[in-house]
C-alpha cells in the first residue's frame, strides 16, 4: 500500500471519526447526562447535609459542560481514534485473513472496542461524580491505562498464537484456542491488579448502573459507526470499480425494456 493511499485512508478515517463522534455526542447527551446530573445532585445534597455548602467558584457552567464541552470532547476523541484506527486498518488489511476492506474495518473496530474499552471497563468501570475519592485519581488513572496496555499486548499475543496454530489446528480451532488464551490471561491480569471500591453505600444504585451502561453504550456506538462508515469509505478507495459497477448495474436495470404483458 503506497503512501498516497495511506494518506487518503487516514483522512477518510478521521472523517468517519467525526461522524462517529457526533453520534456518540447525541447518545451521551440523551442517556449519559441525566445520570451525571443525578450524581451531582447527590453530591450537593451530601455537602449541604454535612454543612459544607459550595466550595470555590464554578469556572465552567454545567450547561456548557453538558453541551459544548461534551461535543468538543467526543469530536476530538472521534477524530483521534479515527486516525489511529485507519492506520491500524492499513496494517491489518491482508494480514489477518482474506477479508475485504469492509470486513477488515469492522474487525479492527471490534478489536479496538474490546481491547481499549470493554476489557479495561470490566476491571475499572466508569464512575459518575461523587463516587470516587479524589485522592486516588492518579493511581486509578495509571492503573486504567496499564489495563489498556496489557489488553492490547494480550490481544496481539493471542493473534500471533492463532496464526502459529492455524497450520496445525485449522483457522477455526486456532481462533478458539487463541481466544481462550486471551480470556485466561486477561482474567489473570485482572485478578492481580488492585481494585477500588469507593462508592458510598447510600449512593443510588440505579444512577450508578445507568451511568456505566451509558458509558459502554456510547463507546459501542462510536466504534460501530466508525467501523461501518470507514469500511464503506475504504472500499471506495481500494476497490473503486465497486461503486461504478453498482451505479451502472442500477442504470442498466432501469433502462432495460419492460416485457409486454401477456394478452
Q: Residues near 156 by Cβ (< 8 Å), separated by ≥ 6?
A: none
| Burial bucket for residue 226 (CB in 10 Å: 0-12, 13-18, 19+) | buried
Q: Report pLDDT for 199.
A: 82
Q: Quick one: CA dihedral 149, 108, 90, 85, positive or negative?
A: negative
Please give the average per-residue pLDDT across 155-180, as a whole number: 86
pLDDT per residue over 42-76, tens digit each?
A: 777 776 666 555 555 566 677 777 788 888 999 99
Grid coordinates in use for 210?
445507568
pLDDT given for residue 228 in this prediction: 94
**pLDDT score at 21:** 93
Q: What is the dihedral of CA 125, 128, 132, 137, to 10 degrees?
A: 70
Task: Write down the pTM of the prediction.
Answer: 0.82
- According to the model, what pLDDT value does residue 18 have? 94
Q: What percent of the chain has pLDDT over 70?
A: 85
pLDDT band at 242 (very low <50, low <70, confident <90, very high): low
CA distances from 11 to 83, 126, 184 (A): 7, 31, 37
Contacts of 172 (CB under 8 A, 6+ apart): none
Amino acid at each position: 500500500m503506497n503512501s498516497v493511499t495511506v494518506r487518503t485512508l487516514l483522512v477518510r478515517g478521521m472523517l468517519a471519526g467525526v461522524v462517529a463522534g457526533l453520534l456518540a455526542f447525541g447518545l451521551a447527551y440523551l442517556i449519559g447526562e441525566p445520570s451525571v446530573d443525578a450524581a451531582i445532585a447527590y453530591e450537593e445534597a451530601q455537602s449541604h447535609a454535612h454543612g459544607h455548602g459550595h466550595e470555590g467558584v464554578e469556572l465552567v457552567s454545567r450547561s456548557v459542560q453538558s453541551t459544548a464541552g461534551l461535543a468538543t470532547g467526543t469530536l476530538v476523541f472521534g477524530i483521534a481514534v479515527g486516525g489511529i484506527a485507519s492506520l491500524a486498518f492499513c496494517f491489518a488489511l491482508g494480514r489477518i485473513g482474506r477479508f475485504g476492506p469492509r470486513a477488515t474495518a469492522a474487525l479492527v473496530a471490534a478489536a479496538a472496542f474490546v481491547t481499549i474499552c470493554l476489557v479495561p471497563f470490566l476491571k475499572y468501570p466508569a464512575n459518575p461524580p461523587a463516587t470516587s475519592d479524589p485522592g486516588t485519581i492518579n493511581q486509578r488513572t495509571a492503573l486504567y491505562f496499564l489495563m489498556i496496555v496489557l489488553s492490547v499486548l494480550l490481544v496481539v499475543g493471542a493473534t500471533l498464537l492463532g496464526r502459529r496454530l492455524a497450520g496445525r489446528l485449522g483457522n477455526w480451532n486456532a481462533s478458539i484456542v487463541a481466544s481462550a488464551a486471551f480470556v485466561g490471561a486477561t482474567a489473570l491480569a485482572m485478578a492481580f491488579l488492585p481494585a477500588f471500591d469507593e462508592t458510598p453505600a447510600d449512593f443510588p444504585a440505579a444512577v450508578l448502573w445507568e451511568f456505566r451502561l451509558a458509558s459502554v453504550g456510547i463507546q459501542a456506538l462510536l466504534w460501530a459507526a466508525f467501523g461501518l462508515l470507514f469500511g464503506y469509505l475504504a472500499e471506495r478507495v481500494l476497490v473503486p470499480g465497486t461503486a461504478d459497477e453498482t451505479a451502472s448495474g442500477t442504470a442498466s436495470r432501469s433502462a432495460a425494456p419492460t416485457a409486454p404483458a401477456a394478452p
